[in-house]
Amino acid sequence: MAAQRLITPPKLKKGTMRIVPLGGLGEVGRNMAVFELDGKILIVDCGVLFPEEEQPGVDLILPDFSYIEDRLDDVVGLVLTHGHEDHIGAVPYLLRRKPDIPLIGSTLTLALIEAKLAEHRIKPYTLAVKEGDVEELAPFECEFVAVNHSIPDALAVHIRTEAGSVLHTGDFKMDQLPLDGRITDLRHFAKLGEEGVDLFMTDSTNADVPGFTTPEKEIGPTLDQLFGTSSRRIIVASFSSHVHRVQQVLDAAHAHNRKVAFVGRSMVRNMGIAAKLGYLDVPEGILVDMKKVDSYPDSEVVLMSTGSQGEPMAALSRMANGDHQIQVGEGDTVILASSLIPGNENAVFRVINGLLKLGAEVVHKGTAKVHVSGHASAGELLYCYNIVRPKNVMPVHGETRHLIANGRLAESTGIDPERILQCEDGTVVDLRDGVARITGQIECGYVYVDGSSIGEITDADLKDRRTLGEEGFISVITVVNRQTGQIVSGPDIHARGVAEEEKVFKDIKEKIARALTEAIQDNKEHTTHQLQQIVRRTIGSWVNRKLRRKPMIVPVVVET
């Protein structure tokens, strides 16, 4: 899938629906799609992407809201398919711009986002829906369909309009033995297929995985066996929203007479919400406060923690580094009950290595069946294409390899390749009379959250940070007299992160001084910036040639 060229889309005609993904295509995260018809806008999902190693200092990555920023008054609603961070995490940042955008979602999804919004001091307007409900958000009619995922209460949304219909699956799989008994409603999918689905936007995350995703129930026996053979503390790391996995941990702990403590603020908050709403069945007396864990023997304790993706500030990473109140030791069992999100591999392996050094036994998906994916594999997607028989297909939610694999599955079921739209973030798709066409490409970049800064950090800033971290820093301070053309002081060279002794820079100091003196004497009209650039070029070429490095260079020329 080649990168799309920026092409300004044509003016949207009345009666045509425009679909613009602002995130989630080409990446696993920051899912967001905008639907526009007759001057009104409907949004489906608004999630975050977590940074990778080449984005140092970044906390979160948001969708680029600039496409709709000046039209937030036209937004009739924001549909949230489920409560995972990559689908709801950016909602607070959108609602900062317009707090009264209606949020539509299931009971659990809304409870999770309301708790998050409370931290941002935003009280949202919400509308709770369940499978089978139909809501008029003129000119869009939204019908909600139950889907099975790794969090309860997930929903697909079918959008009916005069321009055509769209079935957006959100994240889903077809587990036939779900822990909560709530399966993906294929009968409803079939009914919508009979009615006619003009555009099928379907989860691509596991499109390149053959067969069918393993049922959640197969995890239970593995956990039970690990709990039965562990003689000391058990630490289970999972996503803080994975209610099904936490339920299995609670059940195994109860069967082996262990107490469970939740570790990590988001884990405590989310499981409290899930239990209160009845999505988590907590055996009486099994939960204990983290502060009281030490009063129980190690053989009677289970810690349910965040940090399964190696996040630096999450509880498990801090345990691996030895700077958490929980000290992992010889004989402890650590279970990583999650899949690796692409880009997090190195961080997770660092945590595993740190835990092993401390003497813990580490169990993960690669060594035991302690996690299954929440996404439909190729066999399940084929079923969906054959049931829905859509006129047009737009693979969503995945890296480029996932989107292409999903498109090939659609083609294998007989869908015309010209009706399979391989898009990326910012691709403009227009739907009318059963035909979906790519009509343009808008600019759609990353928006970085860095502490309290939102959108101020640029790719150039990140390049500077990477340079500082990988190559080091050299500053050169020189005081010159423009009238005499002489060096008054310096050049003084200060290096950080460059493993060289100060005497190494002796020769280059003389070259810098000579270059500056010649420049001033030849042309006294040189600006300070031009003189600094002479310093930068002189030391830069020398460092590159002599030291084989490309550090950040900050030249300072002071005139007297």
CATH number of domain containing 242: 3.40.50.10710
Q: What is the pLDDT of residue 239?
A: 84
Out of 451, 475, 506, a domain closes at 451
Residue 9 domain flag: no
d(CA 92, CA 124): 10
Taking the CA atoms of 55, 59, 61 and 66 in sequence, report the sign of the dihedral they define.
negative
Is residue 88 within 8 Å of residue 45, measured between CB atoms?
yes
Residue 8 domain flag: no
The CATH number of the domain where 66 resides is what?
Answer: 3.60.15.10
Residue 3 domain flag: no
* 73/151 same-domain check: yes
Q: What is the pLDDT of residue 196?
A: 96
Query: Could you tell me the residue range of the domain that residue 234 belongs to?
Result: 216-363
CA distances from 2 to 143, 258, 393 (A): 34, 53, 18
Is residue 180 within 8 Å of residue 281, measured between CB atoms?
no
d(CA 101, CA 78): 7
* 502/356 same-domain check: no
Q: What is the pLDDT of residue 490?
A: 72
Residue 153 domain flag: yes
d(CA 49, CA 258): 36
Give the count of domains, the chain.
Answer: 3
Out of 427, 451, 475, a domain closes at 451
* 254/351 same-domain check: yes
* 271/349 same-domain check: yes
Q: What is the pLDDT of residue 166?
A: 98
Q: What is the pLDDT of residue 452?
A: 64
Residue 400 domain flag: yes
Q: What is the pLDDT of residue 557?
A: 80
Is residue 405 within 8 Å of residue 393, measured between CB atoms?
no
Query: Residue 362 annotated as binding?
Result: no
Could you tell me the strand order of the sheet in which 234-237 lies?
259-263, 301-305, 234-237, 333-336, 361-363
pTM, full prediction: 0.83
* 220/206 same-domain check: no
* 355/392 same-domain check: no
* 272/293 same-domain check: yes
Out of 451, 485, 505, a domain closes at 451
* 493/345 same-domain check: no
Residue 318 domain flag: yes
* 334/422 same-domain check: no
Residue 435 domain flag: yes
* 203/56 same-domain check: yes
CA distances from 489 to 423, 476, 555 (A): 58, 11, 14
Q: What is the pLDDT of residue 70?
A: 94
Residue 13 domain flag: no
Q: What is the pLDDT of residue 223?
A: 92
Q: What is the pLDDT of residue 511?
A: 79
* 553/500 same-domain check: yes
* 512/410 same-domain check: no
Query: Residue 374 annotated as binding?
Result: yes
Query: Residue 373 annotated as binding?
Result: yes
Query: Residue 87 annotated as binding?
Result: no
Query: Residue 305 annotated as binding?
Result: no
Q: What is the pLDDT of residue 559?
A: 79
The CATH number of the domain where 488 resides is what?
Answer: 3.10.20.580
pLDDT (tens place) for every residue of the chain, 560 residues total: 544 567 889 999 999 999 999 999 999 889 999 999 999 999 999 999 877 666 666 778 899 999 999 999 999 999 999 999 999 999 999 999 999 999 999 999 999 999 999 988 999 999 999 999 999 999 999 999 999 999 999 999 999 999 999 999 999 999 998 989 999 999 999 999 999 999 999 999 999 999 999 999 999 899 999 998 998 999 898 888 889 999 999 999 999 999 999 988 889 999 999 999 999 999 999 999 988 888 999 899 999 988 766 565 677 888 888 777 888 888 889 888 877 666 667 777 888 888 888 888 888 877 788 888 899 999 999 999 999 999 999 999 999 999 999 999 999 999 999 999 999 999 999 999 999 999 999 998 888 777 666 766 777 766 666 666 666 777 888 887 777 667 777 778 777 766 566 667 777 777 787 777 777 777 666 777 777 887 888 877 877 777 777 777 788 887 77
